[in-house]
Amino acid sequence: MDYSVDFGSSTIDVVSWKGGRIAGIRSFERYPKYKSVEPVKFLVDQKNLFRNAGRIFVTGGKSRSLPATFEGVRVTKVSEIEAIGRGGYFLYELSLSVTERKKVQRMLVVSMGTGTCMVEVRKGKKGYLGSRHIGGTGVGGGTFMGLSRRLLDETSPAKLKKMFARGDRKKVDLSVFDIVGSGIGVVPADATASNLARISRSIDFSCNDLAAGIVNLVGQTIGILSVFAAKAHKCDLVLLCGKLTGMEQVTEAVLFTGNMYKVKMVVPRQAGFVSALGAYRK
């Protein structure tokens, strides 16, 4: 059995492999137990999990600090960019039909984690050709949770999802129609012109409305940057990956933005484990 491990900021993800196929996926919350744990301590703590390991692949966090072997098993260190790129390509093959894949020569993998990382992936006749980091943004899951804690006094994903569903972002955001009176250029009238701007001129909003506005702010920021990056690098497809895809309302805001600019975006299966999956080598 082989294992690939991603030491992320909020979780540590472990994928087990048998014969080149996924045998299982486990995720360990960083907080509170593994908040400041060094990678080697995690491996020691979970050594029963890795007892029969043939190979261990690691990426993310401080994985570079790991020794070359653990309990006699070779440890292969993979760069985060390479892991995101290869993981994105793996998910692309896993989630899209053969017909859909034929239309794609270059894709943008957007890893929505604590921050957001964007990696261009190229393919050729034999499949994966390589990855290139093209940038990203500090707006991501960390921003989302930080604003939710500070403005809503809430960090429970389950409770936040209920708040988003009950909220109305139009009570905290200004739309293009509010400012212009119609759509402008390629932007429709109901699109956001200014996130959370209505708060400065009105007190007629609830915590649920503010929650919806936070979702919109984070999702649209990631969405518009993904659109511009995909267009600049002539990507045929944007793959949305990373743990933040688990917040459906955020993902919907990203997809809405992509659709507005006619950029094809897909959330593949197992999107939250892109780096752990991409660290593996057959």
pTM of the model: 0.92
Domain end call among 36, 51, 77: 77
Cα–Cα distance, 149 to 97 (Å, whole number): 40
Contact call for residues 169 and 209 (beta carbons, < 8 A): yes
Residue 10: pLDDT over 90:
no
Using alpha carbons, list the distances in angstroms from residue 213 to 45, 136, 174, 187, 219.
41, 22, 10, 19, 10
The CATH number given to whatever domain includes residue 98 is 3.30.420.40
Domain end call among 17, 46, 77: 77
Taking residues 141-153, report their average pLDDT.
95
Clarify whether residues 52 and 120 are in a common domain.
no
Give the per-residue pLDDT at 25. Answer: 96
Clarify whether residues 112 and 225 are in a common domain.
yes
Q: What is the secondary structure of 62-74 as a DSSP string?
A: TGGGS-SEETTEE
Residue 32: pLDDT over 80:
no
Domain end call among 77, 92, 110: 77
Q: Total domain count for the chain?
A: 2
Burial of 246 (0-12, 13-18, 19+ CB in 10 A): middle
Give the per-residue pLDDT at 77. Answer: 97
Give the per-residue pLDDT at 90. Answer: 96
**Confidence band, pLDDT 50/70/90 cuts, at residue 116:** very high
Give the per-residue pLDDT at 186. Answer: 83
Give the per-residue pLDDT at 124. Answer: 86
- The mean predicted confidence, pLDDT, of the chain is 93
Clarify whether residues 9 and 95 are in a common domain.
no
Residue 61: pLDDT over 90:
no
**Confidence band, pLDDT 50/70/90 cuts, at residue 176:** very high
Taking residues 228-253, report their average pLDDT.
96
Burial of 257 (0-12, 13-18, 19+ CB in 10 A): buried
